[in-house]
Amino acid sequence: MAVKRMWGGRFEATGAKWVEEFGASITFDQQMAEEDLEGSLAHVTMLKKTKILSASDADQIIAGLRKLQKQLEAGELTFTVENEDIHMNLEALLTKEIGPVAGKLHTARSRNDQVATDLHLYVKHRLPHVIWAIRDLQRVLVEKAEENVETIMPGYTHLQHAQPISYGHYLMAYFQMLQRDVERFEFNKHHTDLMPLGAAALAGTTFPIDRKLTAQLLDFQAPYANSLDAVSDRDFVLEFLANAAILMTHLSRLCEEIILWCSYEFGYLELDDQYATGSSIMPQKKNPDMAELVRGKTGRINGHLLGLLTTIKGLPLAYNKDLQEDKEGLFDAVKTIMPSLKVMTGMLATARVNKAKMAQATERDFSNATELADYLATKGVPFRQAHAIVGQLVLEGLKTGTTLQEIPLAKYQEIDPAIGEDVYHDLQSKVAVERRNSLGGTGFTQVRHQIEVAKHLLSQHDD
């Protein structure tokens, strides 16, 4: 007799060891051990309440599961590949603890609804931590924005100097992106808050189970409405990965700028020593490794999303073993985004801002050309014509090394006699920034307003 596996009744032979290893998920799904025990406890409590199991059987199982919880916490449980996955490993351990009555735990349940439930619990438990970590980063962004409302730097398009902006405004742009990331993860909670348990293998069960009770015990908002859907879909994981990919993409763009700005050519920022590394050969080096790593890790999160989308796209309903591939990418995504957020928070909190270098970069760069065109437009010159005139002045200035603010008034008055001394006021970078006071613009009043709104929002989530 080759009956060794829990599902081995109809088998005559066991497979090769390496096939067994290929099929096993215990090496990674043991990360859901806590959730598996939690799910089993709720399930058996429900079986007891509905009298599907006798109180004495159920109580023995509950006591055994509680013992396993303690052992898990103490790091005393060992899992084996022979038992394939976390579900069968824990059942085997339970059997060791309490004997054959452990076999009653799986009444009215399948590994298919069990694994889906574990995964829901796993994501459900981690979502708040992800959101808290984003909030921490948002807090630092607001703090630094507040310190830098009047720090002037070049704003870029095409990585060419475009118009001067407030560094505070720049930081608040990332605050807003992260705010939407929070909202996406908040929304993710709704679809994660559904309970697959009770779908059994795919079709429900003939036992008089009470799914609403189990859902309540596990703090799920509701059971899945359709048993086939409950065991087949992983869209809540896809959502998590998509959200993680978008979050990392935001962080990656921020990192790209930090890396650029730490370079000799820019020199806008200097990272604190604890977030930089040196070179083993070049003694002068201070490399922004942590920012590069976050940028680099974005690739693998994007990969996890695409991987799971591809795994699921061709699957017929209901469960297929392909779905075992849903876990490693998810676990890795959690393991990646948490320290990435933490490193970004610390890096930004401690980075030194070279305000002089930032401001200097806007002094001779013609990024006030729009100001001059706007000035002419307010004097009645059609904007298109003003644009062309200023374009000519920039061309000349580039050839002669003269900035717009160095052009004498007489020359300006040849272009338009209405031009007055006040043009030089408007041409200052700081004034240019201050005056961009349209809603959501870089004007100081606008930036301060954004910061106030952000602080209010954060104070409502003081968790």
Q: Give the nearer residue to ligand ARG in terms of CB position, either 115 or 140.
A: 115
Regarding 29 and contact with ligand ARG (CB under 6 A), the answer is: yes
Residue 319 CB, nearest approach to ligand ARG (Å):
5
Q: Give the nearer residue to ligand ARG in terms of CB position, either 321 or 456.
A: 321
Q: What does the per-residue mask of binding to ligand ARG show for 97-126, with x meaning CB under 6 A?
A: --------------xx--x-----------
N-terminal to C-terminal alpha carbon distance within the chain: 58
Residue 198 CB, nearest approach to ligand ARG (Å):
16
Regarding 324 and contact with ligand ARG (CB under 6 A), the answer is: yes
317 DSSP assignment: S
Nearest Cα to Cα of residue 138 among 245, 251, 246: 251
Regarding 197 and contact with ligand ARG (CB under 6 A), the answer is: no
Cβ atoms of 186 and 215 closer than 8 Å: no
| Annotated catalytic residue 169 | no
Residue 321 CB, nearest approach to ligand ARG (Å):
6
Q: Where are the beta strands (DSSP E) in 180-256?
A: 194-195, 222-223
3-state DSSP call for residue 29? helix
224 DSSP assignment: -
Q: Give the nearer residue to ligand ARG in terms of CB position, either 113 or 371.
A: 113
Q: Give the nearer residue to ligand ARG in terms of CB position, either 45 or 112.
A: 112
Nearest Cα to Cα of residue 250 among 314, 185, 315, 318: 185
Q: Give the nearer residue to ligand ARG in terms of CB position, either 322 or 406.
A: 322
- Annotated catalytic residue within 54, 56, 263, 279: 279
Residue 132 CB, nearest approach to ligand ARG (Å):
28
Number of chain positions touching ligand ARG (CB under 6 A) = 10
Regarding 91 and contact with ligand ARG (CB under 6 A), the answer is: no
Task: Mention every residue, 6+ apart, whose C-beta is less than 8 A from residue 139.
Answer: 458
Q: Give the nearer residue to ligand ARG in terms of CB position, either 166 or 324.
A: 324
Regarding 40 and contact with ligand ARG (CB under 6 A), the answer is: no
Contact residue for ligand ARG among 36, 85, 233, 374 (CB under 6 A):
85
DSSP line for 332-399: HHHHHHHHHHHHHHHHHHHPEE-HHHHHHTTTSS-TTHHHHHHHHHHTT--HHHHHHHHHHHHHHHHH
Q: What does the per-residue mask of binding to ligand ARG show for 282-321, with x meaning CB under 6 A?
A: -------------------------------------x-x
| Annotated catalytic residue 438 | no
Rg (the chain; Cα; Å): 31
Cβ atoms of 188 and 240 closer than 8 Å: yes
Contact residue for ligand ARG among 44, 323, 341, 361 (CB under 6 A):
323
User: And the tokens for 318?
Assistant: 């209901």
Nearest Cα to Cα of residue 134 among 186, 96, 85: 186
Catalytic positions, please? 158, 279
Residue numbers at the binding site for ligand ARG (CB under 6 A): 25, 29, 85, 111-112, 115, 319, 321, 323-324
